[in-house]
Amino acid sequence: MAVLAIAPAEELPDISSELENTNRAPQRVIKHKGLIMISPQHPLSPADLTWRCYSCDLSQLSFSHQDVPCANIDDVLGGIGRGFRILEDHPIDDAYDPNAALLMNLGVLSGTMFMTGLRTYFHAYSPLKRSKAGLPSAMWTAGSGKFGTKLRFLGVEEVLFTGRAPHPVALHITRTGDEPATFNFIDARDLVGKRVNDKIQTLYQRFPEAHFAVLGPAGENYEKVRFASIALSTENQLKSGDPKPRFCGRGGIGGVMGSKNLLAIIADIKDRKAASGESFKKLNMEVARGDGSRRFRDKDTNNLGGTWANYVSFNSKHAMPEMNFTPTGTDVSVPLYRENVQKTGDFVIKDESCFRCGIKCHKNVYDVNEDGKAGQFRAKLDFEPLNLLASNLGLFDADRACTLVELVDEMGMDSISCGVTLGYAMEYNRRHQNDEKQLAGGLSYGDFEATRDAILAMGTGQLGELSQGTLRLSEQTGETDYAMQGKGLEYPAYLPQTNPGYPWALAGGHMSMRTFFILLNEQETDLDYWVDAITSPKKGLSIIRDDLLGTCKFSTMSSADMASAITEITGVEITEATLEQAVMRAFLRGYRLEKRQGFTQDDYVLPAQSHEEHPQIDLPYFNTQEFFSQLQERVTERFDSLLQEHGLTVS
Ligand code: SF4
């Protein structure tokens, strides 16, 4: 069996003589600018490759590993395609069941020299996402940083966690030479109660070569908090000491990790040379300088790059969430435009990156010092957290927004779920201001101090009515029409009024269904167009491609370029069409897993308020109940027939 050729370069064996004596495709080992690569003269097949899977039983504090032959191209790619396949074998009724599976894995380009190849994935049955039948649903969450790169250097592509440790532990992974990695379980009781950055910096003092995946207080209080995240350390964070991790935020998968009493994972190894391909230099130039990532880069946008720019795009059409996804139709959010925050002179905004990434999408905000330079770090502002923890809560001040965004991150909560649930509670209280019914002590729009206190209480499990998430809270109040969630997952900062594709997103609206920009950019309202947009691997589903590969969506590379990068790194011939088929299969596996957990057509809906006309939104009104009913029927028919075509029956 040949070795999967994405190990760190110094581990790649010279197998040319071995191959001369076999029927397998001949390969040659070549050197390029100091890097060693395997370059196949003829393509390999998936069956020529293996991946290394570690199993970790936390109840016994034991581990083992096996090298698993790749059965097909999905196994070669890794990421969510392989993740869903493994979750199929571990169905459960309770996300926090000790027997529940928590799978951590990489994509094929994670930890290679491909720019943005930094993704780590966690897969589990979510404590937040669920069917109307009441069963938890499979999903994934992804994050960048440098943790995934360290896993690759350790030769750890996949870990399946089961069981529950007898007390809080941290998993310390090390490796000697080219031996398989060793897992040690460290007593982590001293980490309990620490916030995210404190945990990471404490561990960094002890393990200076390592990178880290950690929980905040929310993950420790998983029984009360359904939207705990997992934080992944960045180089910048370790060097500066500032709280600048990346987050695997969606779906409450941090709570699943917490339910296993696993507080941290320490990937401890010195950097090695990462695997590369002959064309990576050219491809990386395109990632860093090309049109695809232009809007995220400061250099090419007059210092206005990043997702923060969505404030201008959406708010200029009054199509941006304010007051629980009900745009005011006013200019009240304009002070939060990046340009206007810069003009205050109160902040320095820097573009920074996870590790070795030329896009530098992080827009890190600092207080300004007397000398005009960056002082204390305040927050990393992206569109979704900023919108959902500021405008959507009736707060329009950058200083306060920074405080809330940073606090949610530090508590280890998903900012989308947290912000939307707060918005729901505020709207409920507004509607009930004249009766006795109030949530969270009467929390109201624009009340910064009360919001900050509520976030602190949510993160430590002391405000359980809110930290159960919007779906469960709205079921408790009996008012679901304005609960901005689908299948239990809170919507990101894009209006459901303008996006009837939300119900089919597998893992959060904007990360797994690319239909949230369509109305703004194309103003399409035709039923046939929307059926195609939701079901096509070239449109709505295209966004999950990078979650097969280990790359960041912000690189926005063509599938042809990605296919050639994978071919170079694995030796397996991949085409654009192969990738599209893999995208479709991954989606269908996730969709089938939903059905196996009791999802029916009734689960694929939008909250009733989404279908009402909002005249202040300066975009066409088309998402009526009648339009959506027809769309739902057509999309269901299409996906169900694709399940048959791909041999993925639901039984
Ligand atoms: S684009 Fe942003 S999130 Fe992605 S790798 Fe680069 S810096 Fe990290």
- For 276-289, what is each residue's pLDDT tens digit? 999 999 999 999 99
Atom of ligand 1 nearest to the CA of 296: 1
Give the residue whose CA is nearest to atom 6 of ligand 1: 357
Question: Residue 15 has what pLDDT?
Answer: 39
Question: Residue 40 has what pLDDT?
Answer: 52
- E strands, 466-548, where? 485-486, 489-490
Strand 210-214 to 230-232 pairing: antiparallel
**196-206 helix and 398-411 helix, angle to the nearest 10 degrees:** 60
388 Cα to the center of ligand 1, angstroms:
21
SS3 state at 311: helix
Give the residue whose CA is nearest to atom 8 of ligand 1: 354
For residues 106 and 68, give the distance between their C-alpha atoms in angstroms, rounded to a whole number. 15
Number of Cβ within a 10 Å radius of residue 11: 16
Average pLDDT in the 582-608 region?
A: 97
Atom of ligand 1 nearest to the CA of 554: 1
221 Cα to the center of ligand 1, angstroms:
29
551 Cα to the center of ligand 1, angstroms:
9
For residues 474 and 315, give the distance between their C-alpha atoms in angstroms, rounded to a whole number. 27
117 Cα to the center of ligand 1, angstroms:
9
Question: Residue 35 has what pLDDT?
Answer: 35
**pLDDT tens digits for 206-224?**
999 999 999 999 999 999 9
Atom of ligand 1 nearest to the CA of 552: 4
With cut-offs at 50, 70 and 90, classify the pLDDT of residue 302: confident
Question: Residue 30 has what pLDDT?
Answer: 38
Atom of ligand 1 nearest to the CA of 352: 7
Question: Which superfamily, per CATH, for 47-268?
Answer: Aldehyde ferredoxin oxidoreductase, N-terminal domain (3.60.9.10)
Question: Residue 1 has what pLDDT?
Answer: 36
Hunting for tokens 């002590």 — which residue is that? 441
Atom of ligand 1 nearest to the CA of 361: 2
Atom of ligand 1 nearest to the CA of 246: 3
Residues in the ligand 1 pocket, defined by CB under 6 Å: 116, 118, 144, 353-354, 357, 359-362, 552, 554
Question: Residue 29 has what pLDDT?
Answer: 42
Strands of the sheet with 362-368, listed across from one edge: 347-352, 362-368, 374-380
> Is residue 365 a contact partner of residue 380, using CB atoms and an 8 Å limit?
yes
More reliable by pLDDT, 297 or 161: 161
Give the residue whose CA is nearest to atom 7 of ligand 1: 353
Burial 452-486 (b: 16+ CB within 10 A, else e): eebbbbbbbbebbebbbbbbbbbeebebbebbbbb
144 Cα to the center of ligand 1, angstroms:
7
pLDDT score of 114 more than 60:
yes
User: Ligand 1 test: best mutation among 362, 383, 557, most atoms within 8 Å of CB?
Assistant: 362
Number of Cβ within a 10 Å radius of residue 322: 24
pLDDT score of 140 more than 90:
yes
Give the residue whose CA is nearest to atom 4 of ligand 1: 552
Mean confidence (pLDDT) of the chain: 93
Question: Residue 573 has what pLDDT?
Answer: 94
With cut-offs at 50, 70 and 90, classify the pLDDT of residue 41: low
> Is residue 548 a contact partner of residue 586, using CB atoms and an 8 Å limit?
yes
Q: For 429-456, what is the HEC assignment?
A: HHHCCCCCCCCCCCCCCCCHHHHHHHHH
**pLDDT tens digits for 412-460?**
999 999 999 999 999 999 999 999 899 999 999 999 999 999 999 999 9
For residues 354 and 110, give the distance between their C-alpha atoms in angstroms, rounded to a whole number. 13
Question: Residue 32 has what pLDDT?
Answer: 34
331 Cα to the center of ligand 1, angstroms:
31
525 Cα to the center of ligand 1, angstroms:
33
Question: Residue 23 has what pLDDT?
Answer: 34
Burial 604-625 (b: 16+ CB within 10 A, else e): bbbbebbbeebeebebeebbee
Atom of ligand 1 nearest to the CA of 118: 5
For residues 457 and 452, give the distance between their C-alpha atoms in angstroms, rounded to a whole number. 9
**pLDDT tens digits for 171-206?**
999 999 999 999 999 999 999 999 999 999 999 999
What phi, psi does 130 have (nearest 5°)?
Answer: -155, 160
User: Ligand 1 test: best mutation among 361, 555, 556, most atoms within 8 Å of CB?
Assistant: 361
For residues 488 and 468, give the distance between their C-alpha atoms in angstroms, rounded to a whole number. 10
Question: Residue 361 has what pLDDT?
Answer: 87
pLDDT score of 296 more than 80:
yes
Question: Residue 423 has what pLDDT?
Answer: 98
357 Cα to the center of ligand 1, angstroms:
6
With cut-offs at 50, 70 and 90, classify the pLDDT of residue 478: very high
User: Ligand 1 test: best mutation among 112, 118, 384, 549, most atoms within 8 Å of CB?
Assistant: 118
Closest to 297 measured CA to CA, from 283, 308, 282: 308
Give the residue whose CA is nearest to atom 5 of ligand 1: 116
**pLDDT tens digits for 228-252?**
999 999 999 999 999 999 999 999 9
534 Cα to the center of ligand 1, angstroms:
26
pLDDT score of 31 more than 80:
no
Give the residue whose CA is nearest to atom 2 of ligand 1: 361
Average pLDDT in the 71-91 region?
A: 96
141 Cα to the center of ligand 1, angstroms:
16
CATH 3.60.9.10 placement within the chain: 47-268
User: Ligand 1 test: best mutation among 119, 120, 360, most atoms within 8 Å of CB?
Assistant: 360
Average pLDDT in the 341-355 region?
A: 93
**Six-digit token string for 159:** 């870990």
426 Cα to the center of ligand 1, angstroms:
33
Atom of ligand 1 nearest to the CA of 145: 8
Question: Residue 42 has what pLDDT?
Answer: 66
Percentage of the chain exceeding pLDDT 70: 94
Task: Judge residue 21's burial from the number of C-beta atoms within 10 Å of its C-beta, 0-12 exposed, 13-18 middle, 19 or more buried.
Answer: exposed
For residues 341 and 348, give the distance between their C-alpha atoms in angstroms, rounded to a whole number. 9
580 Cα to the center of ligand 1, angstroms:
23
Question: Residue 558 has what pLDDT?
Answer: 93
359 Cα to the center of ligand 1, angstroms:
6
pLDDT score of 354 more than 90:
no
165 Cα to the center of ligand 1, angstroms:
33
User: Ligand 1 test: best mutation among 552, 553, 555, 556, most atoms within 8 Å of CB?
Assistant: 552
Atom of ligand 1 nearest to the CA of 353: 7
With cut-offs at 50, 70 and 90, classify the pLDDT of residue 294: confident
